Homo-oligomer: A and B are copies of this chain.
Amino acid sequence: MMQYHIKDLKLSKEGKKRIEWASLRMPVLNILAKRYEDNKPLKGVKIGACLHVTTETANLVISLKKAGAKIRLCASNPLSTQDDVASSLVKDYGIEVFAIKGEDKKTYYQHIDRVLELEPQITLDDGADLVATIHRSYKKSISWLPWAGTEETTTGVVRLRSLERQNKLLYPIIAVNDALTKFMFDNRYGTGQSTLDGILRATNFLIAGTNFVVCGYGWCGRGIAYRARGLGARVIVVETDPLKALEACMDGFWVMPIKDACKIGDIFVTATGNIDVIRKEHFLLMKDKVLLANAGHFNVEIDIEGLESMSTSKRKIKNLIDEYVLEYKGKKKRLYLLGEGRLVNLACAEGHPAQVMDMSFANQFLSCIYIKNNYPALQKKVYKVPEEIDREVASLKLEEMGINIDKMTPSQKRYMQSWELGT
């Protein structure tokens, strides 16, 4: 009998339409699903997925099911679940889902446990909460281990590489995040656009003419910086890495320490993967009426507890906007936190557009098949996505966009291999 824990089965109709709408924009995944529908290479394979429960994820798990897998899905963030999608997955596609938008922390982890009850052979993670739970529970409540897993996001990969360095990683992981067709597009274009989209939906704020502070100039941060500039903002980048800081500077952005940025910023977005990037001492320096948002995976980049503790009042100004009032040196300042400091693109908008998830999830899909075929040879390491997968995804995407490119001629190929030819 199907098991699930979702908000309301009756939401399925709307969810189904939205899943189909996303499907229209996910041609690469569709091609792959069709290719493997008949011979079902994942037949009988148990997959546990801890991903944002969105229309795009729905298309991934549906495709995996078509390829023969048995799947359980929980949310990788308590606020990111789209309840109608969860409902349709259960009702229309027969997939076991454990996810409710706004679930509390306890429920969140119970849902992860329900996925682990499946004893999955492959884990799909977005932020490493599933694999972290396995690591915490192994030899306590858990006695089995998956063949291997995949990890979707930078934050998760950082955590897993840390485990790997300490020789504590219990099973192999493929870092889908590091596929060129993933991080180049998803982190940069996807997060870039959807972060701004989240801010617009929450606030309808005019970006042009604002001082827009981006903390972190990794792939996500630079995506956000370029999109904010594209909407007319003056962008200020805050970085701790001298190489990235220098690059931001050469890309035409203003670079300064967070404490200087605080005095002039109108909008602040964190995308560092680190904790406490904006802290108590920084809130005090800010202007009245600024917006605060986080685009990093966890809601730890803005010190919300600190903000709460120093506020003289707090109220919900509208859905997804909390107003915090501070007083400092006799001046009242109102700070507006979006989406409770959680991923603003998921909390306030719909997450990555289907077109970028198409490529990420095509990598996920092919990686699952790769794991099925190769897991005995894999070690307890974090692996890159095999280059042939990455290249296949890129070529399928270009083809779908109707873009032709040249091939090297034989003599050009020879030249690129040679060393004698010269000036």
Contact = CB atoms under 8 A, between A and B. Distances in A.
Interface string A194-232: 100100110011111100000000000000001101111
A412 B276 contact: yes
Interface in A220-263: 226-227, 229-234, 238-240, 242-243, 245-247, 249-258, 260
Interface in A329-358: 334, 349-351, 353-356
A118 interface: no
Interface stretch (A3-11, A57-65, A372-380, A413-421): A413-421
B243 A317 contact: no
Contact of A421 (B208, B245, B300, B419): B300
Given A128-B422, A276-B411, A254 B242 contact: no
Contacts of A324: none
Contact of A18 (B181, B254, B318): B318
Contacts of A227: 230-232
Given A181-B243, A242-B394, A232 B230 contact: yes
Interface stretch (A31-39, A85-93, A158-166): A158-166
A132 interface: yes
Instruction: List the number of copies, as a whole number.
Output: 4
B276 A243 contact: no
A403 B274 contact: no
A355 B206 contact: yes
A407 interface: yes
Given A354-B204, A394-B243, A405-B240, A231 B21 contact: no
Interface string A126-161: 011100100110000000000000000000001110
A397 interface: yes
A43 interface: no
Given A197-B200, A229-B252, A245-B405, 10 more contacts: A24-B289, A108-B423, A127-B422, A162-B417, A188-B250, A189-B250, A201-B201, A209-B252, A242-B395, A258-B406
Interface of A: 14, 17-18, 20-21, 24-25, 76-78, 105, 108, 127-129, 132, 135-136, 158-160, 162-163, 180-181, 184-185, 188-190, 192-194, 197, 200-201, 204-209, 226-227, 229-234, 238-240, 242-243, 245-247, 249-258, 260, 273-277, 287, 289, 298, 300, 317-318, 321, 334, 349-351, 353-356, 390-391, 394-395, 397-398, 401-409, 411-412, 415-423
